[in-house]
Amino acid sequence: MRNVIVNALIVVASASLSVIACEVGLRLLYPHGALGSGEELEFLRREPSARWMSNVMMPDEAIGFRPKLNVEGGYDKDGLRHRSHAGQSDIRRRILFLGDSVTARGRIVRAIEKDLHDPTTEFLNGGVEAFNLTQEVSFFLRFQSALTMDRIVHQVHGNDLRATPIAFRDENGTLNAFLLNSPRQHVDQWLFQHSYLYRIGLAVFLSHKTEADTLQEARENFARMAAFAAERGIEYDVVLFPILLSQDALYRDDRRDWLALEKACREVVQKCVSLLPVLDHMLKQGQPVEEIAGDTWHPNDAFAAAAAPVIIKALGLEAQPAPKTW
């Protein structure tokens, strides 16, 4: 009997040491990684330090989270982050820019506006921080589609196909994990915060996404937007924004998603512009491209200035719009 107890204790101790070793190893490899289990939306917390963002964003059962509308310092009643005012009352063209945080922060949009220098064109920024492709399209169709516009420029990020669930606190303060098209799952807050193995298990449970699924998801979202635009005589263009790393430095899944985005875009969208050549050229020249050093998702002003003329030429935005009655 004593040997049984000793052997059981050895097994428990070995298993515990293995778990501890895995946790330590994962922390060393991914010191800030959610490991696919979900990225907590800190702006939905109730702490005073994040209270100002909680006035701008809210949980949403259909798309995980979204901006509140008509909130001072946030999004207006039409779901826009920013609206440039044309220099005169004779507005001949309205261009709506969609996308994630790259669009929302407005560097590329402002660079295009500066280069065009067209007082008869109004620039509408409908980008939303942390959105992926499905969220961008769903939010547009629900809240922004009633806008009067004659062109949509959809800036799609290289990470916009990620299946990472979103972790957020509901109205009761309970932490939940949410993946589009999947039911909400209660998350053990302590384990989510302290255990990397728990995060991996949660990711496996929530998300089973194949390469074919990724391609199909991109194709369907582009098709939804293209159909909307075609029915209303609106031009719909896509600008593909790469993760700000050389191609050989990308993770395998990021390379896969980029190829899926390019393939789906060129199959569905008439004008699909890749900014990868802009990135490659700047990296070869040794030029900095990141908004903040180490941030491979958001461009600096130099990248935006280099990208703007490429976008303008590829989409034919330099053509002067004809007079129009809105």
3-state SS, residue 298:
coil
pLDDT tens-digit readout, 183-196: 455 556 566 666 66
Instruction: Compute the distance between CA of residue 208 and CA of residue 59 in angstroms, rounded to an integer.
Output: 23
Tell me the percentage of the chain whose pLDDT exceeds 70. 65
Which of 119-123, 249-253, 304-308 has the largest mean confidence?
A: 304-308
pLDDT tens-digit readout, 3-52: 556 455 554 555 555 545 554 554 444 444 443 434 444 444 444 444 54
* Full DSSP string of 302-320: HHHHHHHHHHHHHHTTTSP
pLDDT tens-digit readout, 204-240: 655 555 667 778 889 999 999 999 999 999 999 999 9
Distances, alpha carbon 266 to alpha carbons 51, 141, 232, 248, in Å: 42, 22, 21, 23
Residue 276: predicted pLDDT? 98
53 falls in which pLDDT band (50, 70, 90)? low
Q: State the burial class of residue 144 (Cβ atoms within 10 Å of its Cβ: 0-12, 13-18, 19+).
A: buried
Residue from 316, 66, 248 nearest 258 by CA: 248
Does the global pTM surpass 0.75?
yes
